[in-house]
Amino acid sequence: MQEAETRDLLVRLAASLFARGYAVGSAGNISVRLADGFLMTPTNASLGALVSERIAKLDRGFNHVSGDRPSKEVFMHRAFYQARPAAQSVVHLHSTMATAVSCLADADPVAPIAPLTPYFVMRVGKTLPIIPYYRPGDPAMEPAIHAAAIGARAVLLANHGPVVSGPSLTDAVYAAEELEEAARLAILLRGHVTRNLSPSQVDDLVEVFG
């Protein structure tokens, strides 16, 4: 995909996330890997009102080269790209239910959402490590996210929200949506006895869908 098309797709998918309430205000940021660097949503920009030409461009070393000033979470995105060479896009949201799970004091630190549905396993994976709390934009979060992202497609930032990677921009957005819906189910079902997918059902999904 050419850069201009990628910019337009980013504008469309971000607006769709915003329109459906996955992002509010200026929360959230999205990046995409290009042949010669990265696109990143500008800091303090609403995902509902991105302008294609104003999206920040970074070189391969994550230096800002054009467009508006990039998200202050550039370290969070860099951690994923460096830990996961196949990742083509990273989506960070403050989506309500995933953020609710990130605030649970008794959450499992490696798999806070049980494998309730196949699409959660297929799009997000078997683990969703919780990263300890850092102030938004704090570069100190980078090593912790990097270490977790080596073995996980997505993480939850404690008391902050999800960060999801994918093999394309569209896949990363779909995974972020699937994670939010899985978190909604997990919160709805809290206190209920659930029938989770069994380890062999989970392994079957991983084997068939990767």
Known catalytic residue at 3: no
Strand ranges across the sheet with 29-34: 64-66, 56-58, 37-40, 29-34, 89-92, 161-166, 154-157, 130-131
Residue 162 near residue 101, CB atoms below 8 Å:
no
Distance from C-alpha of 115 to C-alpha of 170, rounded to nearest angstrom? 23
Distance from C-alpha of 134 to C-alpha of 167, rounded to nearest angstrom? 27
Distance from C-alpha of 94 to C-alpha of 163, rounded to nearest angstrom? 9
Shortest distance in whole angstroms from residue 97 CB to ligand 13P: 16
Q: Which of 22, 73, 177, 180 is catalytic?
A: 73
**DSSP label of 126:** S
Q: Give the x/- contact pattern for ligand 13P in 145-184, rule: CB under 6 A.
A: ----------------------------------------
Q: Give the x/- contact pattern for ligand 13P in 65-94, rule: CB under 6 A.
A: ------xxx------------------x-x
Q: Give the x/- contact pattern for ligand 13P in 113-152, rule: CB under 6 A.
A: -----------------------x----------------
| 43 scored as a contact of ligand 13P (CB under 6 A) | yes
| 26 scored as a contact of ligand 13P (CB under 6 A) | yes
Q: Which of 3, 119, 174, 181 is catalytic?
A: 119
Strands (E), 11-69: 29-34, 37-40, 56-58, 64-66
Known catalytic residue at 119: yes
Instruction: Assign residue 36 a region (left: φ > 0; alpha: ψ between -120 and 50; beta: otherwise).
Output: alpha
| 29 scored as a contact of ligand 13P (CB under 6 A) | yes
Strands (E), 67-125: 89-92
Distance from C-alpha of 57 to C-alpha of 71, rounded to nearest angstrom? 11
| 44 scored as a contact of ligand 13P (CB under 6 A) | yes
Residue 179 near residue 111, CB atoms below 8 Å:
no
Q: Out of 9, 17, 28, 205, point to the residue binding ligand 13P (CB under 6 A).
A: 28
What's the one-letter identity of residue 42?
Answer: P
Residue nearer to ligand 13P on the CB measure, 93 or 128: 93
State the residue number with the nearest CB to ligand 13P. 71
Shortest distance in whole angstroms from residue 5 CB to ligand 13P: 23
Q: Please report, as ranges, the residues that interact with ligand 13P according to CB under 6 A.
A: 26-29, 43-44, 71-73, 92, 94, 136
Q: Report the catalytic residues.
A: 73, 119
